[in-house]
A and B are shown apart, each in its own frame.
Chain A
Amino acid sequence: NAGVTQTPKFRVLKTGQSMTLLCAQDMNHEYMYWYRQDPGMGLRLIHYSVGEGTTAKGEVPDGYNVSRLKKQNFLLGLESAAPSQTSVYFCASRSTGGGTEAFFGQGTRLTVV
């Protein structure tokens, strides 16, 4: 999964704390995505971006905010973490066009206690 880097890889938060997950890609991709993966649920789309300065809600956006101030970075914020946000978070990116490959980060395992 060269080209898409997620930081941090692991984090433990207390309920009510805030944090930001960073997704960085060096492939000049227009599209970037944040997903959460929970047992039995598959990957569910939180927010996505179709270009610098734009963001849109996915399937499960509540409790999260995002920003795409720079084309290469897509930030996912948790303002007040809740135990229900314990999950593995994946970022993905791709360029425009129907025939282009998508690339995935290695995941961030977040535990909220």
Chain B
Amino acid sequence: KNEVEQSPQNLTAQEGEFITINCSYSVGISALHWLQQHPGGGIVSLFMLSSGKKKHGRLIATINIQEKHSSLHITASHPRDSAVYICAVRDDKIIFGKGTRLHILP
């Protein structure tokens, strides 16, 4: 079993829809990252969480340490949000999920 599981693996939605991507993990962590990667591109850090909730623009990330679960939400989605979203957990190591490929249709 992977230490970091993301769902869904792929998601296609219409512009304007509310998007939720989930991440569950099975190891002890000191922090959780949400990252974004465009095709052929580098990795951009969106959030780092160790508890609670963070918001940046249309993006919201939450984490429940007791349940070992985090969610990334995108409000009023836009085609430019199309990318791969990656959850990563860390203690000494940083362990990545396989990513969620998001495609927002205009």
Contact = CB atoms under 8 A, between A and B. Distances in A.
Interface residues of B, number: 21
B86 A31 contact: no
Interface in B27-59: 30-31, 33, 35, 42-45, 48, 50
Contact of B94 (A41, A45, A98, A107): A45
B98 interface: yes
Contacts of B99: 42
Contacts of B50: 98-99
A98 B98 contact: no
Interface in A59-112: 90, 92, 94, 98-107
Contacts of A104: 35, 42-45
B96 A102 contact: no
Nearest to B9: A40
B80 interface: no
Interface residues of A, number: 26
Interface string B52-95: 00000000000000000000000000000000001010101111
A13 interface: no
Contacts of B33: 102
B54 to A, nearest CB: 12
A94 B97 CA distance: 19
B95 A90 contact: no
Contacts of B30: 98
Nearest to B47: A101
Contacts of B98: 40-42
13 contacts: A31-B92, A33-B94, A42-B86, A45-B93, A48-B92, A92-B94, A94-B90, A94-B94, A101-B48, A102-B90, A104-B42, A105-B42, A107-B43
Given A1-B43, A102-B45, 19 more contacts: A33-B93, A40-B98, A43-B96, A44-B96, A45-B94, A45-B95, A90-B42, A92-B94, A94-B90, A94-B94, A99-B31, A99-B48, A101-B48, A102-B90, A103-B45, A104-B43, A104-B44, A104-B45, A107-B43
